[in-house]
Amino acid sequence: MKYNLKKISGDASFREFYRLKKNNKTSIIVSAKKEKFKNLAVYAVINNVLNNNKINAPKLLSNHYKNDMIEISDLGEKSFYDHVISKKNKLNSYKLLINLLIKIQKIKVKKYYKFEKLKIKIPKYTISNLHKESDLFFDWYLKYFISNKKIYKIKKILRSELNKVYKKLSYKNDTFVHRDFHISNVMINKNNLGIIDSQDAIIGNPLYDVSSLIDDVRIKLSNKLQNQLFNFYHKNSKLKDDQIKKLKNDFDILSVQRNLKILGIFVRLYKRDNKDNYLKFLPHTWTLIEKRLQNPALKNLKTLFYKHLSIKKLKKFNNL
């Protein structure tokens, strides 16, 4: 039997990925020593939950958890980003992803799942979680532009307002949320869609993944397309009879929260992990934040941002 093992590009986690070829059949070896529980055990469990709900995700082929690795099925080399990036008319392609997301949001989870002797519970999002994530903006992004004394003051002011904003969220944390749902985490193979990178799944607000997909920092979508996708979700999801203003408020709030987190994570990846390929996304991340701050529900937050931060200067990230 002939074997061929080739390292392939990874993601923002501590995992390493290898494509294993055995007699013309391929699989993926996932290796992780840091955050092993989340990156291997939780990942395998969430993939199983997805597959059990008829959503294509990598299947666990062999378990070598004690040796810091698992073997999973190979969903191919082509992401939805590769599929859609050169298309002039992206609407119909993105509708497929909205439909996939709606299917994911119908998942009902158990109290806990087992992986070997481990018990795994899918956590529920809280305001504390939202703060923990958006704090990455202050703790990683801002510290390379502003003195520590100023950061402490700015963080206190903006965090207080963010707390008020997070309390304005209308929808309950009762929906299966992938938590990193964007076109690079959807694979396409012979028109079959598969979802990867699902280890951070939670029970949370249904608009979180919607904002992750539509306000994706990796691709610039026109305002028209973004609005069309939002309306398509509204008309086809379980929230179709709800007030569209409530949906839009939650969408905008969670988009700002997520993209503040992304600014922090991408700088952390650069400074801590020597991964500079994420820096190119920072200016567009700011553009998305500024766009969503136009919502009247975020008026005070917008005022405080422009009062205490020079966003034009921050967007250039020269100090990095």
Determine the distance from the C-alpha atom of residue 194 to the mean position of all C-alpha atoms in its chain, rounded to a whole number. Answer: 15
pLDDT, residue 319, reads 62
The closest alpha carbon to 113, from 63, 46, 64, belongs to 46
Q: How many CB atoms lie within 10 A of CB 88?
A: 4
Residue at 248: amino acid letter: K
Q: What is the pLDDT along the chain (320 residues), one digit of tens a residue?
A: 567 888 887 666 778 999 999 888 999 999 998 889 999 999 999 999 999 999 999 999 999 999 999 999 999 999 999 999 999 999 999 999 999 999 999 999 999 999 999 999 999 999 999 999 999 999 999 988 888 889 999 999 999 999 999 999 999 999 999 999 999 999 999 889 999 999 999 999 999 999 999 999 999 999 999 999 999 999 999 998 889 999 999 999 999 999 999 999 999 999 998 989 999 999 999 999 999 999 999 999 999 999 998 777 677 665 66
Residues of the chain with CATH 3.90.1200.10: 80-112+122-316
The CATH number of the structural domain formed by 3-73 is 3.30.200
| Residue 296, both tokens | 């009247």
Residues of the chain with CATH 3.30.200: 3-73
User: Please, which residues have CB within 8 angstroms of residue 224's CB and are 6 or more apart in sequence?
Assistant: none
Q: What is the dihedral of CA 140, 219, 34, 55, to 10 degrees?
A: 140
Name 120's bridge partners.
Answer: 113
Distance CA 167, CA 162 (A): 9
Q: Where are the alpha helices (DSSP H) in the chain?
A: 36, 43-52, 80-84, 91-104, 127-136, 148-166, 207-214, 223-236, 244-273, 282-292, 299-308, 311-316
Q: Please state at what angle helix 127-136 crosses helix 148-166, rounded to 10 degrees.
A: 150
- For domain 80-112+122-316, give the CATH superfamily: Aminoglycoside phosphotransferase (APH), C-terminal lobe (3.90.1200.10)
Distance CA 127, CA 139 (A): 18
The closest alpha carbon to 206, from 235, 166, 244, 247, belongs to 247
| Residue 160, both tokens | 């207080």
